A = this chain, B = another copy of it.
C-alpha cells in the first residue's frame, strides 16, 4: 500500500489533528494517528478518548487501508522537511518507508484494527444543529473558560455549560468562587436544552477556531464542531449542571462604577502585597473614592491605593480574593467602564459592563471573602 502527498499539505493536516493527541495516557496507542486511506482520501484521526479530531486531504492512492502511525515523530519529521513530495510505502512487515528526493526514513506502524473506538457523532432523534461564527465562539470561550472548576468532585463544573433557550445561546462557567454568564441573543435553536462541554474540547477549539462559520451538532452524549476542514467531536459531561440562576442575586441595589483599566492596574499591584495563601484584598467604598488595601502577613509589606468611582450607597467595606478579582476584570478589559452591583459584605457581587451590547449580555459574579476586622 502506498501513496504520495506534498509535505506542506500533510504538515497542515497533521498540525490540525495533533492537539487531540494526549501527552500522557494510560493507553499508549493514543499517542498515534489513525491514517485511513479510502477512495483517494486520506483522513487522519487523533483522540484522547474524550475528544477526537479528524481532517482529510486527497492523495494519489488506489487502495483502502487503515494504519496506526507514531504521531509526534511523524509530525516532527514532516514539519522539518522542505516543500517536497513525500512517498509513503507501508510494507507487510510493519514498516513505513518514507522517501523524499534527498532522504529516506523508516518508522513502525500498527494495524488499524488495533486503534480503539474514539468519540463519534451519531445523529439520533434528539440531535440538534446550529451555526455560529468561529470568532464569536472563540470570544465566548476566551471570556468564560477561566472560571471553569479544576475540582474533580463536581464534574459538571469542570466544563462549560451551553444552554439553548428562547433567549439565545448562553455560556456559563463557575468554580463556586466566580461565575461567568454570557448570552448570545442572536443564536436560536429549535429546542431548549443544556449541554456540558469538557475543558479539553474548549481549549482545543480555542486554538483552531478562526473567522469561518462552525456547525455545531449535538445529541444526548456528544457534540460535533465542524469547521471548514476539520471536525472535533467531544463526549459531553453527563452530570447535570448546577442551577446557576439561583445563585445570581436579584436585590443587589448598590452600584459602584469604575474605570476598568484603572481598577485592574491597581488590583495587579495589590496582588504583590496580599498574603500568598489567602490573596485577600479589602475594598473600602465611599461615594467618590474606592480605597483598595492589601497586606502580606508573612512579610509585613502592605499597599493601599485610591481609585475614583461613583458609588450609590453609603460607606461599605468588602473583602475579595485578589486573584479572582484580577481574573474577572482582565476578561472585561474590552469594556471601558464596569459596574459592581453589591448588597452587603457577605453577598455575591455582580460585575457588568456599563454599556450594554445589542446582541450579547455578559455578567460575572464574584463571591466576597470575610474580612478579619
List residues of A whose CB falls within 8 A of some B CB: 70, 73, 76-77, 80-82, 102-108, 265-266, 268-269, 272-273, 299-307
Contact = CB atoms under 8 A, between A and B. Distances in A.
B73 A304 contact: no
A113 B148 CA distance: 50
B102 A70 contact: no
Contact of A305 (B103, B265, B272): B103
A70 B303 contact: no
Contacts of A80: 265, 268-269, 272
Q: Which among A70, A82, A272 has the highest number of chain B CB atoms within 10 Å?
A: A272
A30 to B, nearest CB: 17
Given A80-B265, A108-B301, A73 B272 contact: yes
Nearest to A108: B300
Contact of A73 (B104, B268, B301, B307): B301
B269 A302 contact: no
A302 B304 CA distance: 63
Contacts of A265: 80, 82
Contacts of A306: 102-103
Given A80-B272, A272-B80, A103 B299 contact: no
A218 B202 CA distance: 58
Nearest to A96: B301
Contact of A105 (B108, B273, B307): B273
Given A77-B269, A80-B268, A80-B272, A302 B108 contact: no
Contacts of A76: 272
6 contacts: A102-B266, A102-B305, A102-B306, A103-B266, A106-B300, A108-B301
Given A268-B80, A269-B80, A303 B73 contact: no
A105 B271 CA distance: 12
Given A104-B304, A105-B302, A106-B302, 7 more contacts: A76-B272, A80-B265, A102-B305, A104-B305, A105-B303, A106-B301, A108-B299
A299 B269 contact: no
Contacts of A303: 77, 103-106
Contact of A301 (B105, B300, B301, B304): B105
Contact of A269 (B81, B268, B300): B81
A307 B273 CA distance: 59
Given A80-B268, A269-B77, A299 B70 contact: yes
Contacts of A70: 299, 301
Contacts of A269: 77, 80-81, 103
Nearest to A72: B272
A301 B107 contact: yes
B299 A73 contact: yes
A205 to B, nearest CB: 29
A300 B80 CA distance: 20
A108 B266 CA distance: 21
A330 to B, nearest CB: 14
Nearest to A105: B303
Contacts of A105: 273, 301-304
Nearest to A272: B76
